[in-house]
Structure 1
């Protein structure tokens, strides 16, 4: 034990004597390196973490030490560590910003159009939508359409089909035509009759005629005039005719429509709700026009009823049509209003009905 202690003291004495031979500058650099390492170890528990400033300071101080002193000094880093730091700096300088691999991002306009086609056509699959896009000038692959639908969570065509009653009745309405008679009492207490037809799908009203006495022959002739005035495509689309059981709706009247492939559906006695669309138009016409005007005669009623029908078809909004008028369903939406927009008024029936239009 005594010899071991003598040996340890001898080694320490030789180390102290060797320090006397070193310059004060080398001692100061070594002290700075050791102090900086100690500060890093104190704030980094359990593993030391060197910041960019730490790396720069230690690398600069170690460079001031001689090679012999660097090998004997207990450093927390090795030459390989310094070389690794330098390699990272070189890589950071000459490495370009990372770019996403693969195809470029899809245009937002294309994504919106694909989702719109899928939403408005629930029976269209991605192949059908792809074909429609090609006809619209979009040069994309079918897989791109499939990816857009998948990312948006849109189910395939058979699963996303809308089978609700509202969708079913809306689809059936485009092939239904209703007929009814509106009666108006004049100021001289004479009753006049208005025969009209209304399309369930578009809510468009057709005024067939005005008369003092509705007869079977007159009703048949008005039905023929209606079919002649309508376009062939619209006539061919009429699948059902809804009418009441009045005496002037005879077999000859029904034959006019059955000749073009239309099935006549008479309503049940005492059930006016089976012809609700026509009854609703009668109520609107009375409330907005005929009940607010004193009708003097047949000619006057004809002018009033045609003016109101034109208002109904060309301007009056309908909730079932998305607040659009029957003639404006297929037209572009009006421009968005701003502070510079002007609104003008157009009067019908001598100012009884007001229509408003936006002008530039």
Structure 2
């Protein structure tokens, strides 16, 4: 009885409770932290614990949590975060079982993701060319970065490393068979698969590339990140709270993902 009374005393207003339940119902893959992030983006500073209580009371189960990197490597990631890039390859399959490979780079400080390319035949030369193109597009911003993390995939050769060395960006190789040492890249791959590529039929390379670019746009412009106070990379941190009744849903990435915004 005392616990119930304490909950009622700290419960958010009814319209916010309804919004939390709406987010949880419309997005069954979200956990309470993801729902909390969406509320934060909409200007509602409800605590994560409150979101969890409301979702649990409504019978909505939380999503599994990831394990963070630990030890000296985690300290390195934290110390270098402001100038850190992370890169990796991951595969997706088309409806005719063709395996494709996507190469991306993340700006760790802001969590901004760049999809560099998608191919059925990744090679060291292809990866190196994508790296050159990425740095050319960055232009003067390349000076903001000091390190890039990569694994020991054979596509990442000395020539690939030299592209970044030419801009005074040091390559940090993770230990063998240690994907957790590139946690930001691994987390993006997990998110891209769970929220996007595992839920859509990909017809060919061009379709896969478009879907991944659309997802990266969502990831950069709308998806909240715990490491950024639940803001998307391009979010304004001083957002004005939106009345719950004026928040509308729209679908993105071929209807796979829900985004929430102010009603016009």
Measure, in 1, the Cα distance between the counterparts of 2:77 and 2:172: 16
2:95 matched residue in structure 1: 187
Q: Which has the higher contact order (CA 8 A, sep 6+)?
A: 2
The one-character-per-residue Cα deviations of 1:186-206 (angstroms, maximum 9, x if unpaired) are 111110000000111111101
Of 204, 225, 233, the match for 2:112: 204
2:157 matched residue in structure 1: 250
Matched, 1:172 2:80: yes
1:337 matched residue in structure 2: 242
1:138 matched residue in structure 2: none
Of 245, 259, 263, the match for 1:355: 259
Secondary structure in structure 2 of the residue aligned to 1:268: coil
Residue pair 1:177, 1:242 contacting (<8 A) in 2 also = yes
Q: 1:202 to 1:171 in 2, by over 3 A?
A: farther
Mean CA deviation greater in 181-190 or 168-177: 168-177
1:293 matched residue in structure 2: 200
Q: 1:327 to 1:252 in 2, by over 3 A?
A: same
Q: 1:225 to 1:356 in 2, by over 3 A?
A: same
Structure having the higher strand fraction is 2
Residue pair 2:105, 2:116 contacting (<8 A) in 1 also = yes
Moved over 3 A (4+): 165-171
- TM-score, scaled relative to structure 2: 0.68
1:229 matched residue in structure 2: 137
The one-character-per-residue Cα deviations of 1:274-326 (angstroms, maximum 9, x if unpaired) are 11110111011000000001111101101110010000000000111011001
Q: Which runs of 5+ in 1 are unaligned?
A: 1-164
Structure having the higher helix fraction is 1
Measure, in 1, the Cα distance between the counterparts of 2:150 and 2:75: 24
Measure, in 2, the Cα distance between the counterparts of 1:338 and 1:197: 36
Q: 1:290 to 1:278 in 2, by over 3 A?
A: same
Measure, in 1, the Cα distance between the counterparts of 2:179 and 2:76: 22
Residue pair 1:170, 1:201 contacting (<8 A) in 2 also = no
